[in-house]
Amino acid sequence: MRSDRLGESLLPKRYALPIFASDPLSSVAYATQEILIVLTLAGTAFLYLAPWLAATVVVLLVTVVLSYRQVVRAYPSGGGDYEVAMKNHGPAAGLVVASALLVDYVLTVAVSVSAGTDNVISAFPSLNEHRVLIAVALVGLLAAANLRGLRESGRAFALPTYLFISGILVMLVTGFIRYFFTPDGLVAESSGYTVIPEPGYSDLAGLALVLFALRAFASGCTALTGVEAIANGVPAFRPPKSKNAATTLALMGGIAATMFAGVTALALLADVKYTEFTCDLVGFQGDCETDPQRTVIAQLAAAVFGGDGSLGFYVIQAATALILILAANTAFNGFPLLGSVLAQDRYMPRQLHTRGDKLAYSNGILLLAGFAALLIVAFDASVSRLIQLYIIGVFTSFTIGQWGMVRHWNREIGLTDDGPERSRMRRSQTINFVGGSLTSVVLVIIVVTKFTHGAWLVLVSMPLLIVLMKAISKHYSHVADQLAPDTDSRTLPSKVHAVVLVSKVHKPTLRALAFARATRPDQLTALTVNVDDEDTRGLQADWERYDIPVPLTVVESPYREITRPVLDYVKAIRRESPRELVVVFVPQYVVGHWWENVLHNQSALRLRARLQFQPGVMITTVPWQLESSVGRDDGDARGAGPAPGDLRRGFTEDDVESTPYG
Amino acid sequence: MRSDRLGESLLPKRYALPIFASDPLSSVAYATQEILIVLTLAGTAFLYLAPWLAATVVVLLVTVVLSYRQVVRAYPSGGGDYEVAMKNHGPAAGLVVASALLVDYVLTVAVSVSAGTDNVISAFPSLNEHRVLIAVALVGLLAAANLRGLRESGRAFALPTYLFISGILVMLVTGFIRYFFTPDGLVAESSGYTVIPEPGYSDLAGLALVLFALRAFASGCTALTGVEAIANGVPAFRPPKSKNAATTLALMGGIAATMFAGVTALALLADVKYTEFTCDLVGFQGDCETDPQRTVIAQLAAAVFGGDGSLGFYVIQAATALILILAANTAFNGFPLLGSVLAQDRYMPRQLHTRGDKLAYSNGILLLAGFAALLIVAFDASVSRLIQLYIIGVFTSFTIGQWGMVRHWNREIGLTDDGPERSRMRRSQTINFVGGSLTSVVLVIIVVTKFTHGAWLVLVSMPLLIVLMKAISKHYSHVADQLAPDTDSRTLPSKVHAVVLVSKVHKPTLRALAFARATRPDQLTALTVNVDDEDTRGLQADWERYDIPVPLTVVESPYREITRPVLDYVKAIRRESPRELVVVFVPQYVVGHWWENVLHNQSALRLRARLQFQPGVMITTVPWQLESSVGRDDGDARGAGPAPGDLRRGFTEDDVESTPYG
């Protein structure tokens, strides 16, 4: 990393906002709807709760944003809640956060894609029967794009995000004007429907009513998902990084709060009805068993801009679907980032940390897409069913992170004597304390109200992930213990015995012999295995004919196979002189096409696989490049391009292109 | 191979017969039935042709057996028709035979297993609805058993084969006694049915009648399948090999002819009706749309031994099903044998020839089972539909083989002046000439009468196989041309430059360094790639702390990956001094569990894959055995046991067990 160039290539705030805000902003597309879905379980009797619940969500959102502004200032390295938990509560808490975030990424993909599909279907209702297929195909497309090396780019992401923000704001303003200043007012297509309460929800009172309201509130808390993204992306900001990140966070919070409050208000004014079961809607036009309700956003857009056919309606639907897809895409970028951090701490395979191994990223992308697709299929791409699982992870990481910050400030305050500094810290601590308290309460509410609705799945998955990560960590430290250098490990072997494997007298064999001789071993054996008497006699004749200056040793093969006799020969050398180093030279064909491997090299591969278990034996591959392999060495530039999550780490395009190797 | 011991361990005739005869004898189970199926297309009007057709088949069988007795004498090495065709007609004919035999093996499995399933269902009719599933499961079982190393054994195979032979003979004798000497006679369950002719078959006359009769004859020729097996297994016989093989062949031919003629006669006497379409049978008990007809063997066994419930019935059905499964199993043993011969001639991947590579056998077994299962599913496990495809391959190889023998004798006769010897050869040539002529005619009959009934599939597959084998052969000779030694290939490199890849100071690195130093290269570089500044500084500090006597070279990695910087470094060495040999030492973890590979070694593998494309570069793997790998080197004895087809090649159990390595 050349630090002199870093400044120029990092993200200005106007590009950082679309990159990091597509996830939190996109939740505006479903948060209001999720509150309505719960409330309308009891008919329209409790819709009056909606403004209060929305207001509470906005207060919570503001609190969480303020809390995270403390995080980005205190931990500018981009570790986010995971780092905060690790440093202040220790590894156990860190792993809980990590598992919560991993689950969260899968659900971000599943929920965002499902919601995007909903909004596509709202524009083109005939697609409804293919709902699950469309959602799975979108996940597949995202996975494919990221496998191919789709690069996050501020410029490309800016258009849909700003289009969504401005579209929703224009819709809100136009909607309020219509409602207050036009004679017809604002009438959603579902305003005339009556809602039949579900059995058991008609006479809610006392504790049941409180739980019911809390459940609706918990659903509304989906508006907060994705807020933590900026805390993980501080390194991508231009300096002063923390300050710019904090400003962007505030900006994002303000926009999200405005949009969420506005959409909720407008939906209530326009009298939108949205129920979990379409057949609870009396007056619904169409077959309530099969036809879909249109999303709240779609109903508002239609009401505001004058019906389904209007340009405004299509623009809003397109922008909404697009930003939801972008939100899903952020998970594909956030996942490798988290994987890298976890790998650095040895909780994930280490190749997730080293950039070179694209294979590891590819596996991550496939896992993420696979689990998301599984959830989509299992839950019929239903946003309201998936959402039950979503926010547990989010609020787990919120809560642990905020309490970690409280502890962080405690420690920091103890380290300074500067009065104003201490009182500034006390203020920050208070913010985090309030944030932590609120999110703790919300987390309890979520677990209680959502557990039976699917959240148990998440509460089962997280411990499993934690166990897996602990096992990986244990494996690595066990290996590290084995590998620690001791006095013995630097002893030089006394002699080198080279063994060149020979099957025929041809160029690869001659090259292997020449190379082996060039290394001037103390002893050099050309070894062949007698699988077929006739072939062996031919080889011996050729050996004499070409006057090869190394004696040819023939070993017998009782089972007509190659590996074991060689292995036995090598073992015998080691038995006789244990301090002697054996170097086995294996000529190997290098082919240009995968199918050529079917025709060559099988024995060499097997032999190498077995020889490596012998201590004191090195295996030297002497490659022979067949014609078909020419020009293949740089054929694929795997590992040489940008990888998912690079932008978020502050590894940008300009940066790598400026290197002499680019 | 220790020839002094070979004699003791080879097969005596009484064990050779069951091994090699299960395939040809098992066709008795369906050959009669297949004649009836064609004849009853026209009602019962032409059943009078059956004895004549059966007699012709017997004559053909005797001729073919006599012809093959010449083959085993002239070509005792076990190459069979393929060797005869290669040596007398050249590679083109050899490839036709090879492709015919490959197709034949697949069909042997499909037909035998389907016929076996039929006989199981005849005993337990309720299994009929699972017909295809049972057949595919049997193929799967055979494949699994052979993958696990099921060994052909004369002793184990003897029981079912001799049980089948004696069972059928007892049934025939009892049946004839019943028919001729008891008042009730012999009445098959289907004797009372009337057969409705299929449309278009009711008024056969002239050419149409001839073609019809020929078609029935062609179906009866399935009785000849498998006769060639002994010609491929001569090496397995005790000396005098050829004479013993010829005797066994004659014995087998006599038994097969007796059984086929007997079953056909008894079926006609008992008035068995068997039709292609069950609903053509008036009087059929059960639902003709779904219920199966019982096989001819089952109907005879029931009639002879007194009904379904009798012990004799179950014994016959069990023996028939068993010998059919054994017949299918012979294909799993014959296939690697043919593969080995083809690989020796470079028409198949060479690892099929070298015994060691069980992987290659496994792939062969899976291919064979896969194609057989595909055919079974495609043709609903219907013997009469599969049989249309079966005999083309068999008679193709018969015909080419016999004409090859005619040419063989021509050449041999020209080489000798000995009068009696010449006239003996003339007699042999006449036998082969008659055999070749008859099988040629039959081949034409088969192609003409079966083409539209499915045989076209075989006539398409064979050329495809030939093209594939030619392509493989071309590839190998192209490679051989590249590899032929020339004057340049023995030049020694001037200097050796060793590069040890370093990531950390731990035991594997120290071992790699020690080993590299032990090889005393002209130049030694310890190379590390700077992926993470902090890690690299730590490495440099450790390097000094441990006082390692090799300077550490750090290369930068603009993309934070490992492969390319190393590659560039190595290329630079080669560019500067092209005659210098570069040895890259790669420390590698050896792990005991497959999943540990997920956590280690990815970079090393990728690096090796890329480095091998560089000329003048050797890659030396320095294995570090992690604790989990201990005791794994001999953990699996892959390649050390008998392989499918060994027995047929004369590689027997005793033989390998007697070696000092056993």
At residue B193, the 3 state secondary structure works out as coil
From chain A, the residues in CB contact with B360 under 8 A are 602
In this complex, which of A517, A590, A611 lies closest to B612 when CB atoms are compared?
A590
Look at domain B11-389+448-476 and name its CATH class. mainly alpha
* Mutation choice for B interface testing from A559, A627, A653 by most B CBs within 10 A: A559
Closest CA to A314 of A25, A119, A112: A119
Residue A660 has pLDDT above 50, yes or no: no
B559, A599: Cβ pair inside 8 Å? no
B474 lies within 8 A of chain A by CB: no
B486, A507: Cβ pair inside 8 Å? yes
Mean pLDDT across B182-199:
89
Q: How far apart are CA A5 and CA A659, in angstroms?
A: 10
| The total number of residues written for chain A in this structure | 662
- Work out the angle between the directed axes of helices B13-26 and B241-269 (0-180°, nearest 10): 40
A510 lies within 8 A of chain B by CB: yes
pLDDT of residue B257: 95
**Residues B360, B352 contacting (CB under 8 angstroms):** yes
Lowest mean pLDDT of A539-553, B264-278, B485-499, name the range: B485-499
CB half-sphere exposure, A562, CA atoms < 13 A: 22
In this complex, which of A513, A613, A656 lies closest to B559 when CB atoms are compared?
A656
From chain A, the residues in CB contact with B359 under 8 A are 602, 606
The CATH homologous superfamily for domain A15-195+213-476 is Amino acid/polyamine transporter I (1.20.1740.10)
Question: What are the tens digits of pLDDT across the range B508-566?
Answer: 888 889 888 888 899 999 999 887 788 899 999 999 988 888 999 999 887 677 888 89
Strands A194-195 and A281-282, how do they pair? antiparallel
Longest Cα–Cα distance in chain B: 108
Q: How far apart are CA B455 and CA B270, in angstroms?
A: 32
**Residues B70, B431 contacting (CB under 8 angstroms):** yes
Q: What SS3 string covers A1-69? A: CCHHHHHHHCECHHHHHHHHHHHHHHCHHHHHHHHHHHHHHHCCCCCCHHHHHHHHHHHHHHHHHHHHH
**Residues A519, B583 contacting (CB under 8 angstroms):** yes
SS percent in chain A: helix, strand, coil, step 5: 70, 5, 25
**Residues B260, B226 contacting (CB under 8 angstroms):** no
What is the distance in angstroms between the CA of the first residue and the CA of the last residue of chain B? 13
Lowest mean pLDDT of A100-104, A223-227, A602-606, name the range: A602-606
Q: Left if phi > 0, otherwise alpha if psi is -120 to 50, otherwise beta: which for A306?
A: left
B555 lies within 8 A of chain A by CB: no
Which residues touch A177 (CB under 8 Å, ≥6 apart)?
none
pLDDT of residue A239: 83
Confidence label for B3 from pLDDT (cuts 50, 70 and 90): very low
B241, B242, B248, B249: CA torsion to nearest 10:
150
A531, B560: Cβ pair inside 8 Å? no
Higher pLDDT, B653 or A460: A460
**Residues A543, A553 contacting (CB under 8 angstroms):** no
DSSP string, A501-553: E-SSSSHHHHHHHHHHHHT--SEEEEEEEESSHHHHHHHHHHHHHTT-SSPEE
CATH tag, B495-629: 3.40.50.620
Distance, CA of B512 to chain centre: 46
A480, B531: Cβ pair inside 8 Å? no
Q: Which amino acid is at B122?
A: S
Structure tokens at B369: 């089972």
A493-629 topology per CATH: Rossmann fold (3.40.50)
B650 lies within 8 A of chain A by CB: no
Residue A489 has pLDDT above 90, yes or no: no
DSSP string, B91-108: HHHHHHHHHHHHHHHHHH
In total, the C-beta contacts within 8 angstroms joining chain A to chain B are 268
Which residues touch A613 (CB under 8 Å, ≥6 apart)?
B590, B623, B625, B629, B632, B633
From chain A, the residues in CB contact with B621 under 8 A are 608, 612, 618-621
Q: Write down the residue that tokens 């159990």 correspond to.
A: B653
B483 lies within 8 A of chain A by CB: yes
Residue A519 has pLDDT above 70, yes or no: yes
pLDDT of residue B638: 45
Q: Write down the residue that tokens 């009959």 correspond to.
A: B445
From chain B, the residues in CB contact with A6 under 8 A are none
Closest CA to A60 of A355, A395, A392, A323: A395
Distance from CA of B32 to the nearest CA of A (A): 43
Domain boundaries, chain A: 15-195+213-476, 493-629
Task: Tell me which chain A residue has its CA closest to the CA of residue B514.
Answer: A492
At residue A497, the 3 state secondary structure works out as strand
Q: How far apart are CA B614 and CA B396, in angstroms?
A: 49
B506, A485: Cβ pair inside 8 Å? yes
Structure tokens at A647: 């932008």
Neighbour count for residue B157 (Cβ, 10 Å) = 24
Q: How far apart are CA B302 and CA B286, in angstroms?
A: 18
At residue B582, the 3 state secondary structure works out as strand
Q: What SS3 string covers A623-650? A: EEECHHHCCCCCCCCCCCCCCCCCHHHC
Closest CA to A565 of A514, A527, A533: A527
Buried b (16+ CB within 10 A) or exposed e, A169-179: eebbebbbebb
Question: A32 — phi, psi (to 5°)?
Answer: -60, -45
Residue A286 has pLDDT above 90, yes or no: no
In this complex, which of A558, A590, A622 lies closest to B613 when CB atoms are compared?
A590
Task: Tell me which chain B residue has its CA closest to the CA of residue A476.
Answer: B599
Tell me what the pLDDT averaged over chain A comes to.
Answer: 86
B485, A606: Cβ pair inside 8 Å? no
Q: How far apart are CA A186 and CA A167, in angstroms?
A: 18
ipTM of model:
0.72
Question: What are the tens digits of pLDDT across the range B381-406?
Answer: 999 889 888 889 989 999 999 999 99
Q: Write down the residue that tokens 């030279």 correspond to.
A: A585
Closest CA to A217 of A426, A58, A413: A58
B625, A617: Cβ pair inside 8 Å? no
Q: Which amino acid is at B546?
A: Y
Mean pLDDT across B232-248:
88
128-157 in B: which are within 8 Å (CB) of A? none
A660 lies within 8 A of chain B by CB: yes
Mean pLDDT across B96-115:
94
Which residues touch A634 (CB under 8 Å, ≥6 apart)?
none
pLDDT of residue A333: 83
From chain B, the residues in CB contact with A623 under 8 A are 611-614, 617-619
Confidence label for A357 from pLDDT (cuts 50, 70 and 90): low
A496, B510: Cβ pair inside 8 Å? no
**Residues B199, B37 contacting (CB under 8 angstroms):** no
pLDDT of residue A591: 79
A508 lies within 8 A of chain B by CB: yes
B492 lies within 8 A of chain A by CB: yes
DSSP string, B281-336: EET-SS-TTTSPPPPHHHHHHHHHHTSTTSHHHHHHHHHHHHHHHHHHHHHHHHHH
pLDDT of residue B175: 94
CB half-sphere exposure, B177, CA atoms < 13 A: 8
Measured at the CA of A222, the angle between CA A218 and CA A228, to 5 degrees, comes to 120
Structure tokens at A246: 């904090």
Mean pLDDT across B363-367:
83
pLDDT of residue A452: 84
Closest CA to A518 of B580, B262, B283, B190: B580
pLDDT of residue B549: 87
Distance from CA of B634 to the nearest CA of A (A): 8
Q: Which amino acid is at A491?
A: T
A599, B562: Cβ pair inside 8 Å? no
Distance, CA of A525 to chain centre: 52
pLDDT of residue A260: 96
**Residues B656, A559 contacting (CB under 8 angstroms):** yes
A483 lies within 8 A of chain B by CB: yes
Lowest mean pLDDT of A73-82, A341-350, A621-630, B51-60, name the range: A621-630
Structure tokens at B143: 């494949």
At residue A499, the 3 state secondary structure works out as strand
**Residues A598, A563 contacting (CB under 8 angstroms):** no
The answer to whether the pTM exceeds 0.80 is: no
In this complex, which of A513, A612, A656 lies closest to B590 when CB atoms are compared?
A612
From chain A, the residues in CB contact with B531 under 8 A are 354-356
Q: Which amino acid is at A102?
A: L
Tell me what the pLDDT averaged over chain B comes to.
Answer: 86
In this complex, which of A563, A581, A585 lies closest to B356 when CB atoms are compared?
A563
Question: What are the tens digits of pLDDT across the range A220-248?
Answer: 999 998 888 888 888 888 888 899 999 99
